[in-house]
Amino acid sequence: MERAVACAQTGVILFTEIVGNQRVNFMRATANDRRTSTSDSLPLTLVWVESTSDSTAAGAHLRGTIARLNDSRFSFRVITQGAERSRRLPAQLSRALRIANVVGRGLLAPRRGVFLARWSPFISLISTRWRRKGLPTVLFVQGNLDDLYDSNPWTKRVRGITDLALRSIREADEIITPSEGLAAWAATIRADGGDRITVIPNGVDLNLFHSMRDETAAKRGHALFFGNMARWQGIDTVLAALEHPAWPEDLGLWFIGDGQMAEAVRECSDPRVRYLGRLPKAEVAREAARAELVLATRHADGASATGVSPFKIIEAAAAGTPSVVTDVPGQAELARDLGGAVIIPPGDPAALAQAVADLHADAELRQRLVSVASQEVKRYDWAASAPILTRVVLRASGREPTAESSGTSFEVVSDD
């Protein structure tokens, strides 16, 4: 296994946005090179089955991956869907249609170069076809089976889904995980152990979060949770902490996101609670910069047992906001590396309420945490680990890594 947090590198950062159902091309170029590709560029096909709308973790991961692969040696095709196609349909049906749409286009896509995908139960339907043609596959494993079951409970009930999900991990030429724990879990599934597993922590769009930090004049008096409101995120602990006597009377509690626990937040009658729903990434960054502190309160259950690398901890650091973080594998190590958080036991409302009260009462402590994290988070800019991901992709393709590119232009197509 490899672990790498590289130093930031300069260059043009390419990004993508998924706009409705439109096929959108985005291109950045340096002054001395306006080519979209070269005859010897390596074709990459990226497939993200999960929704990659602006507000999702999968969307942030896709955009960050593209930023890391901003290299003239590569040309791209991105197959994904940014949002469910119809809000009028039941959520489960809309989700099924999205999966069928992305997988179908993935199966029909020309097979050449390297196949890269974010792990999901259905990726092996596509990746197996690439392997039959002798082409390499690179898989990003961002969670374990418990994470899959919690986010999509039906996958545990349908016969064969688990085997289908694990097949892509077993067969991939290269595996990339954001934490050591997930790397160790993936190694138990593969015949080669960890020989072809690389740990590259999740990243952050520093420019976006720094810009919101600069435009925010003063902090507001509230704690903030943002992200997937799944059961394992500890939102029940947060709501219980709000009722604890230690929680400051003058400190509000805001939530951004959607998911299993959203209804519990909506039903909370405490006037200090405000639910903002799902917001675009720029708005999330703005609210993270405005908040007095951010909460990362995952439970120590199966979804967290193999190690996690939450975006919110890195993003809070980039926004200049301290965090209260539960001590679960991966998350706690990330918080300690950044140095901008108070770490507490998971599932303990009293400890959470007291940590929030301590931070709320001590502006000097909050500033010290922010000062440390503001420096350390620079290593987590998406582009900082570009050389490591580039090396993995080139290794999968059989090409020898050459001198690093300066970030020339290329085209990204989102087949949405």
Q: Which residue has the higher pLDDT, 372 or 6?
A: 372
Contact 331, 306 (CB under 8 A): no
The predicted structure's pLDDT at residue 403: 52
User: Is 60 exceeded by the pLDDT of residue 283?
Assistant: yes
Using an 8 Å Cβ cutoff, are 177 and 141 in contact?
A: yes
* Stretch 175-185: mean pLDDT: 94
Mean pLDDT of the chain: 85
For 14-28, 36-50, 56-70, 369-383, which range has the lowest pLDDT when averaged over its residues?
Answer: 14-28
- pLDDT per residue over 200-237, tens digit each? 999 999 999 988 987 765 677 899 999 989 888 999 99
State the virtual CA torsion across 264, 273, 353, 369 in degrees, nearest 10: 120
**Where residue 9 falls among pLDDT bands split at 50, 70, 90?**
very low
- Residue among 192, 179, 196, 187 at smallest CA distance from 305: 179
- Tell me the per-residue pLDDT of 40-61, one tens digit each, with 9 for 90 and over: 889 999 999 998 988 888 999 9
- Rounded to 10 deg, the angle between the 91-108 and 123-132 helix axes is 10
- Order of strands, sheet of 137-140, starting from the edge strand that comes earlier in the sequence: 2-3, 197-199, 174-177, 137-140, 114-118, 42-47, 74-79, 411-414, 24-27
Rounded distance, CA 171 to CA 364, Å? Answer: 51
Domains belonging to the chain, first-starting first, are 2-203+381-414 (3.40.50.2000), 206-378 (3.40.50.2000)
Confidence of residue 152 (pLDDT cuts 50, 70, 90): confident
Question: In the block, which residue shows the tokens 């999509």?
Answer: 152
pLDDT surpassing 90 at residue 172: yes
**Residues in CB range of 311: below 8 A, 6 or more apart:** 57, 60, 202, 204, 227
Angle subtended at Cα 115 by Cα 331 and Cα 154, rounded to the nearest 5 degrees: 55
Q: How many residues does the chain have?
A: 416
pLDDT at 28 over 70: no
Q: What is the pLDDT of residues 332-347, one digit of tens each?
A: 999 999 999 999 999 9
Residues 226 and 312 sit within 8 Å (Cβ to Cβ):
yes
Q: What is the pLDDT of residue 231?
A: 86
